[in-house]
Amino acid sequence: MTTILLLSGPNLDQLGVRSPEIYGTETLDDHVERVRRAGEALGYEVLHRQSNFEGDLIEVIHEAAETSAIVINAGALTHTSWALADALASYPGVVIEVHLSNPAAREPFRHTSTLAAVVDGTIAGFRGLSYDLALEAAHRLLTANGR
């Protein structure tokens, strides 16, 4: 079965209570379950990992070589982590960057993504729907690549 890894960075475990006016009221588990069900309907196994630690996320990426795609919300590491970008650059599959909010419309420090150059594309600003659209984008690219 084709596997998609959903990867969540720092503070995303706080969704539901963290700035609901920006990120919505759904929890990370809500998003993961929705993506898992949608993925299954498309024939994918969806795995999820969350960590508040940069090194943990990098190791998960290193160990994900057998998966076909990564959908990553790296949280604030999006704006700072060249190490995460390097890890993703070595990953052979499809990579979709996803954000609940639209970082480009927020504080200046959120306007830069260190990941942008190494991902296939970015979906941002649709709150929970961003995850559904990111899964759809991964599916379309995998299908175009013959999976």
Site string for ligand DQA, 36-75 (x = CB under 6 A): -------------------------------------x-x
Q: DSSP label at 65?
A: T
Using the minimum distance from each CB to ligand DQA, give the nearer residue, 46 or 97: 97
- At 60, which amino acid appears? V
Out of 7, 71, 103, 134, the only residue in the binding site for ligand DQA (CB under 6 A) is 103
Q: Is residue 99 among the annotated active site residues?
A: yes
| Distance between CA atoms of residues 39 and 42, nearest Å | 5
- Strands 69-73 and 44-50 come out as unpaired
> Least distance in Å: CB of 146 to ligand DQA?
31
- Is-catalytic flag, 111? no
The residue from 23, 44, 91, 131 that is catalytic is: 23
Task: Confirm or reject binding of residue 76 to ligand DQA (CB under 6 A).
Answer: yes
Q: Which of 38, 32, 142, 42 is nearest to 92 (CA)?
A: 142
100 binds ligand DQA (CB under 6 A): yes
Q: Which of 92, 94, 103 is nearest to 138 (CA)?
A: 94
What is the closest distance, in whole angstroms, from the C-beta atom of residue 68 to ligand DQA in the complex? 23
Give me the count of residues in the chain: 147
Nearest residue to 72 via CA among 55, 90, 84: 84
Smallest distance from the beta carbon of 90 to ligand DQA, in angstroms? 22
Q: Which residues are catalytic?
A: 23, 99
